A and B are shown apart, each in its own frame.
Chain A
Amino acid sequence: MRQPDQTEAPDYAVELNACSKEFTTPHGGTYQAVQDIDLKVEPGRFVSIVGPTGSGKSTILHMAAGLLEPSAGTAASFGVPVRGVNRRASYMFQQDALLPWKTVIDNVSLGLTMAGVPKPEANDRARRWLEKVGLKNFTDRYPHQLSGGMRKRTSLAQAWIVDPDILLMDEPFSALDVQTRQIMENELLALWQESGKAVVFITHDLDEAIALSDEVIILGAGPGSTVVGRYDITIPRPRDLLEIRDDPQFVELHREIWGRLKIEVSRTYQSTVRQEGGAA
């Protein structure tokens, strides 16, 4: 089914080659969101993309998922060009994406039931996942009856239950408070470790990116943003997320990457101010 062919040469789980994306604006013009994006993620790697808001992070993830077609360049996954949605990937969306008319357990088991798994078995497996993310007492709730953190846990279970080879996560924790976020980050690392899954993780929080990843990619300011820096994070695993911010290696990396990111963030800020000034 979703088994990667391990005997083959190392195909990338996610592979974007010189991908660009142009949107048509409401006035009929075009807006170049991202330009010449190269992104290669090996199976089992945890890669984060960091960039200012509006730099095209979600756009890149959508292209990797097959939800958006690149205007130029190619997208591939495990050596196969991505056409339509990428069946080997799960996606955790930035916004709430649970179906509001389904209970927690029906949301989590959805991927299985749609793939033809019988309902009782799908429910069993969903229950096991809900236990793993600490929601076993909330199986029959509707999404609006959950806190933001619980909804994210449900989304996490929904994405993982189908056992994908790739996890695309778009700022999954940015709407959470600091404590909940740290707990979720820990849970995510525990799940991912030894799962062999490739993770592409989007965040605007550099701390989070460094703490979790094997590689951090910095995206420049838009329009036409592109990759402006790549950093290997060699902090050994398993990592203790509660202590990692005091790790000298972490501090050094943070200083180095932030030096680069700062420039892009302030460019985004200035162009926003300019636009607002011009519009007024």
Chain B
Amino acid sequence: MSTTTERTGRNAGVARQRPRRRAGVTGPGVRAGQVGLTVLVLIAWELLCRVGVIDDFFFPRPSEILKTVWEWVGSGFVFPHLLITLEEAALAFITGAAAGLLLGFLLARVHFLEQLFEPFLKMFNALPRVVLAPIFLLWFGLGIWSKVAFGFTLVFFIVFFNTLEGVKSVDRVLIDNARMLGASERQLLRHVFIPSALTWIFSSLHISVGFAITGAVVGEYLGASAGMGYAIAQAQGVFDTTGVFAGMFILMFVVLIIDLLVNRVERHLLRWRPTNNG
């Protein structure tokens, strides 16, 4: 728990540097090495458990974990929980991103508002967001809305700060050029500011999607009647470490898949950018 607190508190700022597209395709040699490394670690883990070097109460054997994952998936036990978690994460992400975008654009374009709100936003951002989870539980109850609210506070600040920075860092000469070509304030927004801010927003999208899910899971962990966080907490309650690990692995795969989808969208929307290796 405490590590989660640290991470949500610290990483919620602006992505430090300009986003850069990842280096292109991974070579076949690297890919083979990655698979080999995975297999090696899993086998070592399994063997060390079997000979008793690793206590498999705390680190259950990979074979056991896989078996539990298979049971949870096969019996359909995990799907309702996963669905609830994803629903909470999606709601938190959509509302948080929308609010972050809106306020980000507004404050970036209206200097007075930015000055007015700056200290308050800094204050809220400095607050480790996890401490809000208990109060949201009291306010919004055990259902999904306390998790949505919690995820919202995580997503909002990331998207907000990146939008603000993205709009403010637009090259002056692009604005001047568009204005000389007759752009109105609205056309400036549409043709210059939004596309420019998109690069920043996308650089934060991977982080904010992750935080939406983190928010949902942590919220469920603290108090819920369904969801992946709840399932993991239940397993932990009966000292079922295998169950805890199974939950972790399933979440990991789901987030990986979502991340791949985000990559796809990003690559399409930012296709105008030069690639590193091109």
Chain A residues within 8 Å of B, Cβ to Cβ: 65, 67, 85, 87, 89-91, 93, 95-103, 110-111, 114-115, 142, 144-145, 158, 162
Considering only residues 14-60 of chain B, those with a C-beta below 8 Å from chain A are none
Q: How far does the Cβ of A209 sit from chain B's closest Cβ, in whole Å?
A: 23
Contacting pair A111 B182 (CB below 8 A): yes
Name the residue among A90, A96, A97, A162 with the largest chain B CB count within 10 angstroms.
Answer: A97
Is the C-beta of B4 less than 8 angstroms from some C-beta in chain A? no
B9 at the interface (CB under 8 A from A): no
Which of B182, B184, B195 touches A162 (beta carbons < 8 Å)? B182
| A110-B181, A111-B181, A158-B181 known; A97+B176 contact, CB < 8 A | yes
Nearest Cβ distance between residue B169 and chain A, in whole angstroms? 14
Q: How far is the CA of A120 from the CA of B181 in the complex (A)?
A: 19
Out of B173, B181, B183, which one reaches A95, CB within 8 Å?
B173
Against A, the Cβ 8 Å flags (1 = close, 0 = not) of B259-278 are 00000000000011110000
CB–CB B182/A97 < 8 A:
no
Interface-central residue, B179, B182, B196, B274, by most chain A CB under 10 Å? B182
Which has the most chain B C-beta neighbours within 10 Å: A67, A90, A142, A162? A67
Complex CA gap A102/B198 in Å reads 14
Rounded to whole Å, the gap between the CB of A89 and the closest CB of chain B is 7
B contacts, CB < 8 Å to A: 173-174, 176-184, 187, 191-192, 195-196, 198, 271-274
A89 to B177, CA, bound (A): 11
CA A69 to CA B274, docked complex, whole Å: 36
A95 to B176, CA, bound (A): 11
Closest 8 CB pairs of A and B: A97-B177, A111-B181, A101-B195, A144-B274, A91-B180, A101-B272, A142-B272, A97-B173
**Closest-CB distance, B170 to chain A (whole angstroms):** 10
Tell me how many residue pairs across A and B have CB atoms closer than 8 Å.
60
By the criterion CB–CB under 8 Å, are B192 and A85 in contact?
no
Known: A100-B273, A101-B195, A110-B191. A91 touches B182 (CB 8 A): no
Check A162 against B181 for contact (C-beta < 8 Å). yes
B179 touches A67 (CB 8 A): yes
State the CA gap A90–B179 with chains docked (Å): 10
From residue A199, how far is it (CB to closest CB) to chain B in Å?
15
Tell me which of B173, B182, B272, B274 contacts A102 (CB under 8 A). B272
A101-B179 Cα distance, complex, nearest whole Å: 17
In the docked arrangement, what's the CA distance between A115 and B187, Å? 10
CB contacts (< 8 Å) of B178 on chain A: these are: 99, 110, 114
Q: Are A91 and B273 in contact (CB under 8 A)?
A: no
Residues of the A chain whose Cβ atoms lie less than 8 Å from the Cβ of B196: 101
Judge whether A67 and B181 touch: CB under 8 Å: no
Known A95-B173, A114-B187; judge A87-B195 contact (CB<8 A).
no
The answer on a CB contact under 8 Å between A87 and B272 is no
Most buried by B among A89, A99, A103: A99
Which residues of B sit under 8 angstroms from A111, Cβ to Cβ?
181-182
25 pairs, CB–CB < 8 Å, chain A vs chain B: A65-B180, A67-B176, A85-B179, A90-B180, A93-B176, A93-B177, A95-B173, A97-B174, A97-B177, A98-B177, A99-B174, A99-B177, A99-B191, A99-B192, A101-B195, A101-B272, A103-B272, A110-B191, A111-B182, A114-B181, A114-B182, A114-B184, A114-B187, A115-B182, A145-B274
